Structure 1
Amino acid sequence: MKKGVLYGIVASSKTRVRCVFCRVHIPKANKCIEQHTNGAKHKDNIILMTENGMIFRDDELYCKPCKRVMDEEESVSKHIDSESHANWQAAIEDLTDGEYIQLEPYLTSEKEEAFCEVCKKDINCSLQVIESHVNSIVHRGNILEKLKPLNGIFAVDNDEEVYCKVCDAYVDNTVQTILEHIDDDEEHIEWFAEMEDLIEEQDVSLERYLANENEVNVYCKRCDLEIICDIQSIENHVHSESHLNNLG
């Protein structure tokens, strides 16, 4: 008989077992249990649990974000749609968006920690702790170092400033000012929006151009060709016959 954390099957009576994941009773026969655990609903519930921090503990479902044992008749999908769980989900997504924080270690296991990729450390996955971490000076500094080569930001001899290649402008060398430039400067944002719209699905990479101060070209992977990094040159290339012929 399949039992345990992977299957959620527990004893119910002499003739039946209970699937904790699906909130149903099943005849106590291997064939019936196999049929249920191989079914689409059971597999879908396992996926939902994994994505939402629900674990099988002491023969019951426990929701880590909500910090409670789920009611016996409460389905996985119904709980996910509940106010408390939905509010947590919205709050944690808002806090971690763009912060390089992996929630999977917390959601998919009994661990109580998420993992911050830029700080290389585990963090207790409570809203208060995550908020404190993402607003800390250390984390903001590490985020900045991650973003600089993605945004054409380079150090200069004058430590009081950095140089933005995208905008051909100097910016005060403070974490707050540089992040504000990346996130809020209209010229910076407009350049990226125009470039991304132009190269979308064209296999043209800005990575090397942005990460190297003296690089003047972008790279077309499809054509194995370097192109001067300006709007007109890239536009001419992506609409060229040679580039279009390489679509296949």
Structure 2
Amino acid sequence: MKKDFGIIPSSKTLVRCIFCGVHLPKANRCIEQHTNGAKHKENLMLMRENAIYLLNEDLYCKPCNRIVNDNFSVPGHVETESHSNWKVAIEDLTEGEFIKLEPYLSSERDDVHCEVCNLDIDSNLHIIEKHVNSTKHRNNVVERLKPLNGLFPVENDDEVFCKICNMYIDNTTRAVLEHIDDDEEHVAWLTEIEDLIEGHDVSIEHYLANDFEVNAYCKKCKMDIICDVENIESHVHSEDHLNKFI
């Protein structure tokens, strides 16, 4: 019996797939056909995305801290109000916070990991919320975001310089985050550049992380490009560049 695949005995002639919530003939051929099918594989993926795993002969959901009712398949459970609310809440809490959820969601770990604080955190929503709102975490997020947004220290520690906007801003957590998230010029430049380079193997990471760098780099053409909208647009639409993708 393929217990690891969610197949458990149901009667003398039937087995049940607890992942999919269906009964099958006990014949090996029928079981193989089901476990190799697209729907079964989709449900395995859903389990790995929702911290659901096989516990003895039951489905257990870690976030809901409960055995999944026999009347529910994996999709049925993740669509319940309680689980859906948890999924929305944890995604809202961790978006942009450098919190690594994947090992928890795949049931490899019971905690989540904050990359900027290098800290394992209990997966409880209230504890995660407390962590992401802490002063230490906010400061660490800002320091991680600065080289991703062209922000650099200056002699006056009270300010940082934004090379994208060619302006100085207060070197406080609130001011830096407001600039990154809400400054129209900053957001518009990054959005336009990222839209241009998407799928073109062009990197602006070195430009953003180094104060005196003026170039983006095309990995496909192995060449530098002046890092502005006009030059990047001209390059990614050029015949030489596009021919590299043929």
The answer on whether the counterparts of 2:159 and 2:168 sit within 8 Å (CA) in structure 1 is yes
Q: Map residues 174-213 of structure 1 onto 2, 5 A cutoff.
A: 174-213=172-211
1:45–1:160 Cα change, 3 Å:
same
Q: Corresponding residue for 1:21? A: 19
Q: Corresponding residue for 2:168? A: 170
Structure 1's unaligned 5+ residue stretches are none
Q: TM-score, normalised by structure 1?
A: 0.89
Q: Map residues 1-248 of structure 1 onto 2, 5 A cutoff.
A: 1-3=1-3, 6-109=4-107, 111-248=109-246
1:57–1:240 Cα change, 3 Å:
closer
1:215 is displaced (CA, Å) by: 0.8
The answer on whether the counterparts of 1:55 and 1:110 sit within 8 Å (CA) in structure 2 is no
RMSD, matched Cα:
2.1
The answer on whether the counterparts of 1:51 and 1:107 sit within 8 Å (CA) in structure 2 is yes
Q: Deviations over 1:67-103 (max 9, x none)?
A: 2212111122111111111111111111111112121
Give the length in aligned residue pairs.
246
* Counterpart-to-counterpart distance in 2, 1:29 and 1:236: 62
User: The residue matched to 2:188 in structure 1 has which SS?
Assistant: helix
The answer on whether the counterparts of 2:18 and 2:73 sit within 8 Å (CA) in structure 1 is no
Q: Deviations over 1:19-39 (max 9, x none)?
A: 322333444454444444333
Structure 2's unaligned 5+ residue stretches are none
1:230 is displaced (CA, Å) by: 2.7
Q: Percent identity?
A: 61
* Counterpart-to-counterpart distance in 1, 2:15 and 2:195: 55
Q: TM-score, normalised by structure 2?
A: 0.89
The answer on whether the counterparts of 2:201 and 2:219 sit within 8 Å (CA) in structure 1 is yes
Counterpart residue identity of residue 226, structure 1: D
